[in-house]
């Protein structure tokens, strides 16, 4: 497994959740076929609370879902952070 740098994507409130899911965290769990337990920001030990919208550093605006705690998902959190690349689920537009 390898990690990559990602950061929060701002202004995601307009994104439409695909049908068949109750939340972005539900979308991630059903796509991965596993429960989201711990925040995926590396070294954060908080419980995963939301499916956060992130972009890969240097990749432009392609959007991915990653389980995060509310602190790590906060839009004021603008620094890049490390996450496992295999845990990113792409959002289809």
Q: Please give the residues from 61 up to 80 whose contact with Zn ion meets the rule CB under 5 A.
A: 69, 72
User: Please, is 85 exposed, middle or buried when counting C-beta atoms within 10 Å of its C-beta (0-12, 13-18, 19+)?
Assistant: middle
**Residue 10 or 18 having the CB closest to Zn ion:** 10
Find the shortest distance in angstroms from Cβ 23 to Zn ion.
17
**Residue 54 or 93 having the CB closest to Zn ion:** 54
How far is the C-alpha of 30 from the C-alpha of 45, rounded, in Å? 22
Residue 91 C-alpha from the chain's centroid: 10
Contact residues for Zn ion, defined by CB under 5 A: 39, 41, 44, 46, 69, 72
């Amino acid at each position: 497994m390898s990690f990559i740098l990602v950061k929060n994507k701002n202004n995601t409130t307009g994104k439409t959740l695909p049908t068949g899911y109750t939340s972005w965290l539900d979308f991630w769990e059903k796509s991965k076929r596993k429960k989201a337990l711990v925040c995926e920001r590396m070294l954060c030990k908080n419980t995963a609370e939301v499916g956060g919208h992130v972009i890969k550093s240097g990749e432009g605006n392609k959007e991915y879902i990653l389980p995060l705690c509310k602190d790590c998902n906060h839009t004021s959190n603008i620094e890049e952070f490390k996450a496992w690349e295999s845990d990113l689920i792409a959002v289809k537009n």
